[in-house]
Amino acid sequence: MLKLNINGQNRSLDVEPDTPLLWALRDELQLTGTKYGCGIAACGACTVLLNGAPARACVTPVSAVVGQRITTIEGLATTKTESKTAKAVQAAWEKLDVVQCGYCQSGQIMSAVALLATNPKPTDADIDAAMAGNICRCATYHRIRAAIHDASRTLT
């Protein structure tokens, strides 16, 4: 049994230690907001926060995250540490109707929250650097940039 702290709750999991966090979340805990896109940390759809920093859950074995604070899209708006930034980001995403197919957007939002947590007033270049690991095949990038700026204005 592995004990993980996910969205502020302690969860016990009976999985192989090499299981990527992504599949533990999705298949064992039915936290399906974190998405599978590539399995090699190339697309960012599986982005979660580990102690507030973005991490690709598809290449992170569960055994490596025991004792760490794991935040997924489901817990983003309610956990103590990220909720303020998260709410601003999600409100901006909704205001600007960023989403299209939506499959990558959990990951996009996790990366955006992590960016604003460390850099509340990012420039376009900062946004490009922080968000370049998250692919969106619908290419909603134009609105992602605008939404991060919008959230930044709310927060600062």
- Burial class for 33, CB neighbours closer than 10 Å (0-12, 13-18, 19+): middle
User: What is the b/e burial string over 120-141, where b = at least 16 CB atoms within 10 angstroms of the residue's CB?
Assistant: eebeeeebeebbeebbbeeebb
Note the residues at the interface with another protein (CB under 8 A).
15-16, 19-20, 23, 26-28, 30-40, 42-43, 45, 72-74, 76-77, 90, 93-94, 97-106, 109, 127-129, 131-132, 134-145
Of 72 and 85, nearer to another protein (C-beta) is: 72
Of 28 and 64, nearer to another protein (C-beta) is: 28
Of 81 and 126, nearer to another protein (C-beta) is: 126
Q: What angle do CA 127, 77, 69 make, to 5 degrees?
A: 85
Minimum separation from the CB atom of position 93 to another protein (A) = 5
Pairing of strands 2-6, 69-71: parallel
Of 34 and 50, nearer to another protein (C-beta) is: 34
Minimum separation from the CB atom of position 1 to another protein (A) = 15
